[in-house]
Amino acid sequence: MEKQLTSETIYDGKIIHVVKDKVEAYNGNPATREVVYHHGGVCILAIEEGCILLVKQYRYPFREDTIEIPAGKLEKDENPSEAAYREFEEETNRRAENMKFLFDCYPTPGYCSEVLHIYQAINFKEVNDSLEADLDEDLHLIKMPIDQAYQAIFKGQIKDAKTIIAIMYIYANKEKLL
C-alpha cells in the first residue's frame, strides 16, 4: 500500500480532475503519482440479428474514425444503469427493455481512475422518438457479424479497448448469447 504525502491539483475540468501526488511507495521510497480522476463510463453490448451493434465516430486525440460499441461518459454521481439506457438510445436509436450488467473494467489503471461499466442490452427495438445524440457527436451505426468483428480486431480495424473486450466476450460466449 502506498501512503499519500501531498497532493497538488494540476487541472480541474468538466470531464477530468488531474492531480500530482507525492507518495511513500511500498518499500519506503518517495515517488510521484500523476492521476486523472474521471467519473467513469458505460458501454453497451448489443446483438441484433446475429450482428453486434457498433458506432463509427471521429476521435480527436487520434485524429481518426474509430469503431466502438455504444458508450458514454457518466455525469458526476449518475447511476450507471440509467446512463446505459440513455447512451444506448442516443447512439443507436434503439430502446432496451433491460440492461444486464456484465462486468466492470479499468481501461488505464496506471494513471486513471476511470471505471467502465459494461452492460448488455436485452429486448430492444428501433424507435422513432429516441433521445438525441450529443451535439458534438457524429455517429454512424454499423451492424457487423460477430465473426467479422472478431477478425476486424486482428486486421487493425477495431482498436478501441472496450470494444475489443466486448467482442472477445461475445465471441467466447456466443453459444449462450445468440
**Beta pairing partners, 57:** 66
**Tens digit of each residue's pLDDT (9 = 90 or more) over 111-157:** 999 999 999 999 999 998 877 767 777 899 999 999 999 999 999 99
Q: What local confidence, expressed as pLDDT, does residue 65 receive? A: 96
Q: What are the structural domains, with CATH classification, of the chain?
A: 1-36 (no CATH), 39-171 (3.90.79.10)
Rounded Cα–Cα distance for residues 106 and 59 (Å): 20
- Whether residue 56 has pLDDT greater than 80: yes
Q: Which 8-state DSSP code applies to residue 133?
A: P
- Rounded to two decimals, the pTM is 0.91
| pLDDT at 136 (0 to 100) | 73
The contacts of residue 135 (CB under 8 Å, 6+ apart) are none
Give me the pLDDT at residue 177, please: 67
How far is Cα 106 from Cα 40, in angstroms, rounded to an integer?
Answer: 9
Greatest Cα-to-Cα distance within the chain, rounded to the nearest angstrom: 60
Which cell numbers in the block locate residue 34? 500523476
Give CA–CA dist 107/27, Å, rounded: 27
What span, in angstroms and rounded, lies between the C-alpha atoms of 122 and 140? 21
Look up residue 165 and give its three cell numbers: 473486450
Q: Give 110's Cβ-side CA count (13 Å radius).
A: 0
In the chain, what is the straight-line distance between the N-terminal and C-terminal CA atoms, in Å? 43
